[in-house]
Amino acid sequence: MGNLLPFIKLYRRYPGAMALGVLLSITTLLASLGLLALSGWFITSTAIAGLTLATAQSFNFFTPGAGVRGFSIGRTASRYFERLVSHDATFKLLAWLRGWFFARLAPVPLHRLKQFRKGDLLNRLVADVDALDQLYLRMFSPILAAVVTIVMLALGLSWFSTTLGLSVVLMMGGWLLLLPPLFYALGRHSSKAKGISQQQLRQAALDYLQGMAELQIVGTEPVFRQQLDDRERQLHQHQARLSKLEGLGSALLTFAAGSSAVWMLYLAAGEYQAEVISGPVMVMSVFAVLAGFEALMPVPGAFQFLGFTAQAAGQLKEVIDQPPMVYGKQAPEVKGLVEFKNVNFSYDELQVLDQVTLTIPAGQHVALVGKTGCGKSTLAGLLTRYNDCDSGQVLVDGVPVPDFTEQALYQALAVIPQKTHVLSATLRDNLKLADHSASDERLLEVIQTTGLNQLAAARSNKVSSNKVNSNEAILDLWLGQGGIMLSGGEQRRLAIARTMLKQADILIMDEASEGLDRFSEQLLLNRILEAYQHKTVIMITHKQSMLDKMDAVYRLDAGCLSVVAG
C-alpha cells in the first residue's frame, strides 16, 4: 500500500477538474436520492389525499410532480457531466503520468534498465500507468461521494426525526466501514495475481511472436504455445475469482439495502405511531435509505481491485527508484585523447577488467582484440558511460567522462555498435538520426560512399528513371519495423553511414564489418578511416586483415591489457 503514496500526491495535478468530478458525482447521488424519496412521499401523499373528495381537490399535485421531473432530469444531466469531467480529468492525468514516468525512466542508465525486459517496460509504461486511474475513478471519488451522501441523508432525515437520522448514520456508516477492509482482504491476493498473470502473459506472447520463426524451425512451437495457453488459463482463473467476488459484493449490498430498508420501516413506523412523523415521511424514509445505498455500490469493487492498483504502483516505483545517470558540468572542446587509468570493472561477481591502463593519443587509430567475451565491448562501454567503472578513471582530454555534460560527451563520441538500431521509418529519417541538419545532398553522398545506394537500386521498381525522383525515392525508402527489410550487412552500412554523418572526435567501432563481404569490408573500412583520418578511432575486431591499418593493437586477456603492435 505504501507504493501508492507517491502516486496519490500526483493526483493534485488537476485539482479543479477532480473536485468538479467529485462534486458532480455527489450531485448525481443526491438527485437519485431526492427522486426516490420524493416519489415515495408523493405516492403516499396522493394515496392519502384520494381518501376524501375534499383532500383530493385541495392536494397540490403539481409541485411534487415537477420536483420528481426536476430530480430525474437533474440526475441524468449530472451523471452525464460527471462522466465527462471525471473521465477527462483521469485521461489528462494518465497522459501526464505517462510523460512523468518516461521522464524518470529516460535518465536511468541503460545497464540498469537491462534488468527489465523490453515487453515488461512497455507493460509498465502502458498497463500499469492505466491501472492508476482506479485510484480516482473507483476510489477517491466514490468514497467521498458516499460519505457526503450519508451525511446529507442523515441530516435530511434528522429534520423529521433524530432517531431516523442517527439510524441512517449507523446503518450506512457501518457498511461503509465494513466493506473496504473486507473486500480488500478478499480480493487482495487474486487482484495482485491477476496483475502479475496479465504481465506474464503479455511477455510470453511477445516472446512467442518474436521467436516464432525459430521455434517452428526447431519444432518447439507447440511447447511454447502450450505455455502461453497455460498462462492464459491462469489469468482467466484469477479473473473468474474476481468476478465471483464482484457478484458477492453486489449480493451483499442488495442484502444490506433490503435489510436496512426493513429496519428503517420498523423504526419509521414507530415514529409514525408516536406521531413524530407523518405517513408520507415514513414511506419517504424507507425509499431514501434504499436510494442511499446506491452510493455504496462502487465500494466493494474499489477495494477488491486495490491490490491490483498497488501492484501496478509497485512496478512503476521499482523503475523510478533506479538511480539516474548523473552527468557533470564540463563541456571542453575535445581533441580526442583517451585514457583508461587502473580501470576495474565487474558484472556482479564476474570481474571483466582488472587494472586496465591504456592511453590513446588524439588522432590515433587503435585496435582492440581478444577472445569472445573477454571484455572488449565492456571497456569501450566505459567510455560511452554505458557503465561506469568500479574503480580507476576513464578520461577524455584529461577530463573524467562522468564530469562531462551529457551533450558534450555524446557530441564527442560516435559508435558503430554490434547491433544497429533501425527505426521503423525511411532511410532519410534513419540517417538524420546522426545529423538532423544534414541536407539531402549530404545524405545522398553518404549513401553513395557506404554503398547503401545498391540497396535502393535493388528495389528498383520504386526508383524512377528521373534523377530527381530517383534520389527522392532512395531517401524515402521505407526500412520496415526494426530494419526487417535490411540484411545484416546493410544494417552495418547504415550504422557506418550514420557515423560518417556525425563526424565526432572519437569513433568506437564494435565489430563494424560483421556481415560484410571481404571486398565491401576493405572498401568501407578505408572510407571510414579516411573520414576519421585525424580523429581517434578505437576498433574492436576479431579480423586479422583489419589490424595492419591501425597505429597500435592491444589484446585483452583475462581482464588485462597487453600491447600486440605499435
Ligand X SMILES: Nc1ncnc2c1ncn2[C@@H]1O[C@H](COP(=O)(O)OP(=O)(O)OP(=O)(O)O)[C@@H](O)[C@H]1O
Lay out the sheet containing 399-400: strands in order across: 350-360, 338-347, 391-396, 399-400
* Min CB(542)–ligand X separation in Å: 7
Give the alpha-carbon dihedral of 401, 407, 412, 418, to 10 degrees.
90
Please, what is the minimum distance in Å from the beta carbon of residue 394 to ligand X?
A: 15
Minimum CB distance to ligand X smaller for 268 or for 369: 369
C-alpha 263/C-alpha 266 separation (Å) is 5
CA distances from 407 to 18, 400, 453 (A): 39, 15, 32
Count of Cβ atoms closer than 10 Å to residue 178 Cβ: 13
Closest Cα to residue 312, out of 89, 4, 101?
A: 4
CA 546 centroid distance within chain: 44
For residue 375, the minimal CB distance to ligand X (Å) is: 4
Toward ligand X, which CB reaches closer, 275 or 348? Answer: 348
Nearer to ligand X, 357 or 469 (CB): 357
Mark out the alpha helices in 50-115 (DSSP H runs).
Answer: 53-58, 62-105, 110-113
Element (H, E) at 127: none
CA neighbor of 459 nearest in space, from 432, 486, 481, 420:
486
CA within 13 Å, CB half, 144: 17
Calpha distance 228→208 (Å, rounded): 8
Complex with ligand X: residue 175 or 345, whichever CB lies closer: 345
How far are the Cα atoms of 117, 121, 209, 275, 501 from residue 2, in angstroms, in the given order? 25, 21, 36, 53, 49
Cβ nearer to ligand X, comparing 114 with 459 = 114
Residue closer to ligand X by CB (options 112, 462) is 112
Q: How far is the CB of 553 from ligand X (least distance, A)?
A: 15
The residues pairing with 3 across neighbouring beta strands, listed in sequence order, are none
Q: How far is the CB of 367 from ligand X (least distance, A)?
A: 13
Between 21 and 375, CB nearer to ligand X: 375
CB of 345 to ligand X, least distance (A): 9
Q: Which residues bind ligand X (CB under 6 A)?
A: 111, 114, 347, 350, 352, 370, 372-378
CB of 352 to ligand X, least distance (A): 5
Query: Side chain identity at 273, as an amino acid letter?
Result: Q
* Cβ 348 to ligand X shortest distance, Å: 7
Q: Write down the least CB distance from residue 511 to ligand X, Å.
A: 6
Q: Using the minimum distance from each CB to ligand X, give the nearer residue, 114 or 189.
A: 114
How many CA atoms lie within 13 Å of 339's alpha carbon, on the beta-carbon side?
12
Judged by beta carbon, residue 280 or residue 370, the one nearer ligand X is 370
